[in-house]
């Protein structure tokens, strides 16, 4: 400990014990973790008695941070015996004048908790109502598009197809391939114990084609494209483009929601198939290296192990997943307020909600269609 380190010495006087703060009591010194921990230990060890005096005249430096530390240790009251310079007294008086008392701890009340729960329920119902209105408006816009397909926003649809589908292929391929490798290695460790290595085709086929392929693709697209949808529409809110569209009579549903929902509904089955194929490729590679099962055996045994109903179910789920991701992203984007903080919160909420909805809907599909494909 150097001479400038903040510390407290002790001495005895005829009037009783006295604390002698030494060193530099400033923000730069107290901000160092080691010095602050040592000083805090000394402050806790000081006897809490009224006869303890304080002599601050030996301090090398004292600023408002050090004065606040002393004032808080004194219980926000002046000690009975205190020796200090005029400058130190002025600083301590300023700290004492502007120190606000800590707010009293609020008691737990059942009524307040019930009221808070009611507010959350009302917010949830408001979101559900807005989503239901969006679904209804999308159905009406779909009928409008079917009556006059030439006036549809096909350029927007094609652009969203490229950005949400084609540009998502590299990341989905990488994640799908690695998931296939991991699943095959873990499965091989268990099947080798029972001499049932050939059943890895059944396990990988059912798990990847029926569940993991669509789910992985949907989660990746939700985190990638769902956030982009919310950010795009949210920026339009911040820049008042949405208000301009309303003034010009351009419907938000037909120009913003429908193209994104249609693009994701078309792109998700293709991304699902691509992710599943990459995952199967990783599984075949791992099975060949760990169990010696060749890819030729996979191609021969896969059609018999996995029914066509599993692929149909996976593609159907992907269409639903894509539509829901687009709707959730548009929902949060349209609810963004014209400030950047709301934009960030809406984007985060969009990703979390999309992934949660995808997992819930996947669980419902698994329960309702449990007999399909077996």
Distance of alpha carbon 41 from alpha carbon 319, whole angstroms:
63
Q: Single out the residue of 200, 176, 208 nearest to residue 289, CA to CA.
A: 200
Contact status, residue 145 vs residue 259, Cβ threshold 8 Å: no
Residues 83-125 pLDDT 10s: 888 888 888 888 888 887 777 777 778 888 888 899 999 998 9
Residue 108 in domain = no
Find which of 12-26, 27-41, 299-313, 326-340 is predicted with most confidence, using mean pLDDT: 326-340
Q: How many angstroms separate the Cα of 348 from the Cα of each of 229, 297, 341?
A: 12, 45, 11
Do 226 and 327 belong together in one domain? Answer: yes
CATH code, 27: 3.30.750
Taking the CB of residue 133, how many other CB atoms lie within 10 A of it? 12
Do 38 and 163 belong together in one domain? Answer: no
Do 190 and 282 belong together in one domain? Answer: yes
Find which of 5-19, 232-246, 286-300, 350-364 is predicted with most confidence, using mean pLDDT: 350-364
Residue 115 in domain = no
The parent domain of residue 75 ranges over 7-98
Distance of alpha carbon 253 from alpha carbon 322, whole angstroms:
17
* pLDDT surpasses 80 at 193: no
Do 180 and 292 belong together in one domain? Answer: yes
Give pLDDT, residue 373: 62
Give pLDDT, residue 308: 85
Do 28 and 167 belong together in one domain? Answer: no
Least trusted range by pLDDT, from 62-76, 169-183, 311-325: 62-76
Do 135 and 94 belong together in one domain? Answer: no
The fraction of the chain above a pLDDT of 70, given in percent, is 98
Give pLDDT, residue 33: 80
Residue 1 in domain = no
Taking the CB of residue 308, how many other CB atoms lie within 10 A of it? 9
> For residue 48, what are the contacts with CB-CB under 8 A and spacing of at least 6?
none
Given phi > 0 = left and psi -120 to 50 = alpha, else beta, which region is 59?
beta
Residues 148-163 pLDDT 10s: 888 888 898 999 999 9
* pLDDT surpasses 60 at 71: yes
Averaged pLDDT of the chain: 86
Do 256 and 186 belong together in one domain? Answer: yes
Give pLDDT, residue 38: 84
- Which band of pLDDT confidence, cut at 50, 70 and 90, is reported for residue 281? very high
Total domains, the chain? 2
Contact status, residue 203 vs residue 307, Cβ threshold 8 Å: no
101 or 38: whose pLDDT is higher? Answer: 38
Give pLDDT, residue 287: 86
Residue 341 in domain = yes
Least trusted range by pLDDT, from 60-64, 195-199, 258-262, 368-372: 195-199
Give pTM, 2 decimals. 0.71
Give pLDDT, residue 48: 57
Residue 197 in domain = yes
Find which of 7-11, 91-95, 359-363 is predicted with most confidence, using mean pLDDT: 359-363
Do 91 and 133 belong together in one domain? Answer: no
Residue 119 in domain = no
Contact status, residue 318 vs residue 361, Cβ threshold 8 Å: no
Do 164 and 46 belong together in one domain? Answer: no
Give pLDDT, residue 49: 61
- Which band of pLDDT confidence, cut at 50, 70 and 90, is reported for residue 325? very high
Q: Residue 104 has what DSSP assignment? A: P
Residue 179 in domain = yes
Q: Record the tokens describing residue 141, joined without a space.
A: 């816009």
Distance of alpha carbon 206 from alpha carbon 215, whole angstroms:
13
Do 86 and 136 belong together in one domain? Answer: no
Give pLDDT, residue 101: 74
Of 98, 117, 136, which residue sits at a domain end?
98
Distance of alpha carbon 228 from alpha carbon 214, whole angstroms:
20
Residue 231 in domain = yes
- Which band of pLDDT confidence, cut at 50, 70 and 90, is reported for residue 50? low
Give pLDDT, residue 238: 87
Do 197 and 330 belong together in one domain? Answer: yes
Do 320 and 180 belong together in one domain? Answer: yes
């Amino acid at each position: 400990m150097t001479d400038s380190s903040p510390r407290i010495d002790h001495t005895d006087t005829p009037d009783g014990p006295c604390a002698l703060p030494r060193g530099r009591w400033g923000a730069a010194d107290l901000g160092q973790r080691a010095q602050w921990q040592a000083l805090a230990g000394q402050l806790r060890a000081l006897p809490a008695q009224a006869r303890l005096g304080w002599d601050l005249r030996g301090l090398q430096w004292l600023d408002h941070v050090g004065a606040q530390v002393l004032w808080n240790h004194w219980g926000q009251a002046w000690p009975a015996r205190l020796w200090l310079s005029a400058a130190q007294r002025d600083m301590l008086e300023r700290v004492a004048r502007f120190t606000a008392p800590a707010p009293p701890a609020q008691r737990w009340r059942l009524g307040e908790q019930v009221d808070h729960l009611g507010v959350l329920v009302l917010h949830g119902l408001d979101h559900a109502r807005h989503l239901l209105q969006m679904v209804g408006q999308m159905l009406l816009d779909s009928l409008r598009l079917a009556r006059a397909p030439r006036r549809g926003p096909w350029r927007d649809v094609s652009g969203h197809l490229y950005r949400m589908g084609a540009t998502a292929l590299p990341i989905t391929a990488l994640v799908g391939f690695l998931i296939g490798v991991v699943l095959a290695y873990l499965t091989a460790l268990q099947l080798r114990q029972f001499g049932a290595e050939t059943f890895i085709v059944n396990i990988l086929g059912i798990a990847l084609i029926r569940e993991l392929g669509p789910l992985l693709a949907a989660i990746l697209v939700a985190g990638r494209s769902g956030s982009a949808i919310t950010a795009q529409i949210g920026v339009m809110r911040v820049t008042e483009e949405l208000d301009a569209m309303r003034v010009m009579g351009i419907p938000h549903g037909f120009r913003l929601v429908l193209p994104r929902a249609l693009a994701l509904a078309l792109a998700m089955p293709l991304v699902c198939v691509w992710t599943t194929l990459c995952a199967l490729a990783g599984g075949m590679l791992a099975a060949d290296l760990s169990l010696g099962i060749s890819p030729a055996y996979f191609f021969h045994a896969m059609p018999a192990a996995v029914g066509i109903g599993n692929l149909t179910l996976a593609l159907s789920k992907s269409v639903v997943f894509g539509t829901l991701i687009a709707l959730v992203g548009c929902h949060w984007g349209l609810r963004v307020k014209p400030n950047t903080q709301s934009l960030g919160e809406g984007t985060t909420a969009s990703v979390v909600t999309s992934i949660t909805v995808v997992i819930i809907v996947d669980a419902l599909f698994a329960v309702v269609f449990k007999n399909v494909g077996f």
